[in-house]
Amino acid sequence: MELLEEHYCFEGRQQRWRHDSAVLNCAMTFSIFLPPANGAAKPPVLYWLSGLTCNDENFTTKAGAQRVAAELGIALVMPDTSPRGDDVADDAGYDLGKGAGFYLNATQQPWARHYRMYDYLRDELPALIQAQFAVSDRCAISGHSMGGHGALIMALKNPGKYVSVSAFAPIVNPTQVPWGQKAFSNYLGEDTATWQEWDSCALMLNSQPEQAIPTLIDQGDGDQFLASQLQPAVLAEAARQTSWPLTLRIQPGYDHSYYFMASFIDDHLRFHAQHLFK
């Protein structure tokens, strides 16, 4: 591991690291915020998954999460959104390839060699975080847009791993919207049956009651992608059918940007703290 940057921040430390990922077959960067020490108690971790075109620094520099994370004693881990490097397949569009890994395991060429963000987030990165930093193994997950989809599928596919999940403007039903259909047809192929295991609405409808964890979603009604790509009401209906504990808040006037997330990130941190410190 190579430390790329370190800054003192709200009496904690904001760091950026590079490491070699065996799962992704490339070097990866991630950012981490370590809150101020609280005696011998190790902080729990909130994983944050960013959206299309992002890397680990969008959330770090724009969301303003560190002040309340420091107050609550929560470590924040921000992975990148795709594998990186000159030999990693890419696309000219912003919504496929680098910066658009969709947090799944690709099965199709030319993507399958590197695009295994699901395995990276489920296994390799948490093991590295546990081994290298003084944090507890209690964790929650959150994300934005493509990263909101990522947070929801990570939680739905891994019962017991996260104590809570939240999202801002998530792509809840990627099998039915253009961003998801473009990504899934490239990464997973044309057999749409294989897409279902990466769709939070399908996963929730197939979930068991004991898997359910507290879930918070914020969605701005001024979001330019709301009708075409996001449609959180579809997940709300799946939650109603399965009695999944989902709180969906429609926030008047807010768009898809980090200004929206900066406005409500404190609520999400406090929501996760209720469950991380139980």
Least separation in angstroms between residue 79's CB and ligand LAXINWYW is: 14
Choosing from 12, 35, 51, 101, the residue that interacts with ligand LAXINWYW (CB under 6 A) is: 51
- Which of 56, 80, 199, 223 is an active site residue? 223
Choosing from 53, 158, 176, 242, the residue that interacts with ligand LAXINWYW (CB under 6 A) is: 53
Choosing from 182, 255, 257, 277, the residue that interacts with ligand LAXINWYW (CB under 6 A) is: 257
267 is catalytic: no
**Which residue in 73, 66, 6 sits closest to 37, CA to CA?**
73
Q: In this chain, which stretch among 40-48, 112-120, 207-215, 252-260 interacts with ligand LAXINWYW, using CB under 6 A?
A: 252-260
How is residue 260 written in tokens?
A: 């929206």
96 binds ligand LAXINWYW (CB under 6 A): no
How many other C-beta atoms are found inside a 10 Å radius of the C-beta of residue 235?
A: 26
Q: In this chain, which stretch among 49-57, 103-111, 152-160, 192-200 interacts with ligand LAXINWYW, using CB under 6 A?
A: 49-57
Least separation in angstroms between residue 270's CB and ligand LAXINWYW is: 22
Q: Say whether 86 sits in a helix, a strand or coil.
A: coil
Dist CA 265 CA 187 (whole Å): 31
- Which of 144, 149, 256, 272 is an active site residue? 256
Contact between 141 and 154 under an 8 Å Cβ cutoff? The reply is yes
Dist CA 211 CA 231 (whole Å): 23
Helix (H) or strand (E) holding 18: strand 12-21
**Cα torsion 83, 109, 122, 191: sign:** positive
Q: Say whether 31 sits in a helix, a strand or coil.
A: strand
223 is catalytic: yes
Least separation in angstroms between residue 120's CB and ligand LAXINWYW is: 18
Residues 141-200 within binding reach of ligand LAXINWYW (CB under 6 A): 144-146
Helix (H) or strand (E) holding 116: none
31 is catalytic: no
- Which of 21, 31, 145, 207 is an active site residue? 145
First to last CA, the chain: 32
Contact between 77 and 50 under an 8 Å Cβ cutoff? The reply is no
How is residue 25 written in tokens?
A: 């077959």
Q: Measure CA 134 to chain center.
A: 22
Least separation in angstroms between residue 137's CB and ligand LAXINWYW is: 28
Q: In this chain, which stretch among 30-38, 187-195, 237-245, 251-259 interacts with ligand LAXINWYW, using CB under 6 A?
A: 251-259
Residue number, 47 or 258, with CB nearest to ligand LAXINWYW: 258
Residue tagged 């000159």 (tokens): 86
Least separation in angstroms between residue 142's CB and ligand LAXINWYW is: 14
Dist CA 122 CA 65 (whole Å): 23
Residues tagged active-site: 145, 223, 256
Binding interface with ligand LAXINWYW (CB under 6 A): 51-54, 58, 62, 94, 144-146, 256-258
